[in-house]
């Protein structure tokens, strides 16, 4: 794909993100600029935001739903500006997936932390059907849906464990 003038697959500078709200969100408020494991950095920032919000409020379901819906456009637009299908620094999908896993996990800090960890493992390893979505969808949907599914699967696994213990 031809890259737009001034854009590349390289990480932007933080000052560039501050000038473009879409990229600021796509790069997870700068967490996606991490040189090591930007997806994990994005998930940790997402978890910090989640835990900073009041417990058991409408954000519990509204935040992941809005983040997912907006993420299709945010991630697709930012990736197109960068000229690359799924830039590693775009971590809004990790925000949405992490928030989904937290919203659907059993109540309690151990379950929340387990859900975050399991989300990261599923997002990195991409077992079926996550891998299918990652490989077969393009644009914002391709960036977002594998993480959405990883978040749902992480919560499902945590509930399975919760019900067994």
Predicted pLDDT at 56? 66
Predicted pLDDT at 54? 82
Instruction: Compute the average pLDDT of residues 144-160.
Output: 97
2 pLDDT higher than 70: no
List the Cα angle 24/2/89 in 5-degree steps: 30
The confidence band for 1, taking pLDDT boundaries of 50, 70 and 90, is very low
Predicted pLDDT at 133? 93
What pLDDT, in 10s, does the model give residues 77-105?
Answer: 999 988 888 899 999 999 999 999 999 99
Buried b or exposed e, range 11-45, using 16+ CB within 10 angstroms: bbeeeebeeeebbbbbbbbbbbbbeeebbbbbbbb
The confidence band for 9, taking pLDDT boundaries of 50, 70 and 90, is low
Tokens 């998930």, residue? 43
What pLDDT, in 10s, does the model give residues 101-117?
Answer: 999 999 999 999 999 99
Predicted pLDDT at 3? 37
Predicted pLDDT at 58? 63
Instruction: Compute the average pLDDT of residues 38-52.
Output: 97
Give the ranges where 20-108 is alpha helix by DSSP (H): 21-26, 38-52, 59-82, 92-104
Q: How many CB atoms lie within 10 A of CB 6?
A: 8
Query: What percent of the chain lies above the pLDDT cut of 90?
Result: 82
49 pLDDT higher than 50: yes
Which of 37-41, 60-64, 124-128, 149-153 shows the lowest mean pLDDT across its residues?
A: 60-64
The confidence band for 22, taking pLDDT boundaries of 50, 70 and 90, is very high
């Amino acid at each position: 794909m031809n890259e737009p003038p001034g854009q590349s697959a390289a990480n932007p500078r933080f000052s560039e993100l501050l000038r473009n709200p879409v990229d600021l969100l796509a790069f997870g408020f700068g967490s996606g600029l991490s040189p090591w494991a930007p997806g994990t950095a994005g998930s940790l920032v997402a978890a910090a935001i989640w835990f900073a919000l009041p417990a058991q409020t409408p954000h519990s379901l509204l935040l992941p739903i809005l983040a997912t819906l907006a993420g299709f456009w945010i991630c697709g637009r930012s990736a197109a500006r960068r000229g690359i299908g799924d830039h590693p620094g775009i971590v809004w999908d990790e925000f949405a997936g992490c928030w989904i896993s937290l919203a659907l996990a059993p109540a309690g800090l151990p379950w929340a932390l387990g859900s975050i960890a399991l989300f990261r493992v599923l997002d990195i390893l991409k077992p079926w059907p996550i891998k299918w979505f990652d490989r077969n969808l393009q644009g914002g949907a391709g960036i977002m849906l594998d993480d959405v599914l990883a978040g749902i699967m992480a919560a499902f696994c945590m509930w399975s464990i919760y019900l067994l213990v």
